[in-house]
Structure 1
Amino acid sequence: MDISEVARRSGVSASALRFYEQKGLISSIGRQGIRRQFSATVVERLALIALGRSAGFSLDEIALMLGPDGRPQIDRQLLVDKADELDGSIRRLTAMRDGLRHAAVCSAPSHMECPTFRRLLGLAASGAFDEEKKRPGKHGPEKPFPRAGG
């Protein structure tokens, strides 16, 4: 099937398909005129790439998971490590959500007088919510914010 058909079936733009081919994530099986041709299995491979991207894997990490025969060759420890990373993101986002919900209904005269909001400010200033600074175990366990009214 040609590149436009792959783009239509997969929802991946032709420019992204060319980029994925350049990165070695997919490969065309030839050309018909100026149009790249792909086997039907490329759509499944693109689904695997989409799943990896959704889980937060980089394209370089995904490339290591895709065998030359089109079958996934996934390091299970890499999956465990990514799941642990997602757990940390979930904890941070949950703490942020709870803090914002509390601030929205807090009875303090101003947000700056709310201890929970002040704690949220302190965590943001310290970089506790920054993805680049987080590493499992680096900051210790995070404490949730009190619920509204607390």
Structure 2
Amino acid sequence: MRDRSAWLRPGLLALVAVSVLGTGLELAAERHWQAWNQLPPWGALVLLTAGLVIAALSDSRRAVAVVRTLSVIALAVGALGVYFHVAANYDTGFLDQRYAATWERLPQPTRWWYAVSETVGPAPPFASGALVQTAVVLLLATLLRRPGRGD
């Protein structure tokens, strides 16, 4: 019986491919290109796609270093996106008709939770989180070697 761990690397790379495609479709559906600050996630998807192709073709030390670098940059873009989305939701919380009269009196943790959970504001933090997750999965794939590699 073939070692089951041999399927882990290709499985992680397939998950990266599906995640990149799904995130790209979501960004396109949201028309996430109408302002300059909506373009970084597209760049992160390009970096993740390049990293995916490199990781699929080679797991040499140099290729792994490049893939890890691309992944870390994409991860940073995603993390900043989460932050900016949460901050935008927080900053518009007082405009929500349910909380307009009470926003300033709500405890800080409650206000931040409402911003994170998109109870207030229009920006979806978990969409940016998909970039973070995809970058982490690609990083994990670099920890695994192809079967049969001697070095």
TM range (shorter): 0.3 to 0.5
Structure with larger RCO (C-alpha < 8 A, sep 6+): 2
The TM-score normalised by the length of structure 1 is 0.33
Q: Which has the larger radius of gyration?
A: 1
The TM-score normalised by the length of structure 2 is 0.33
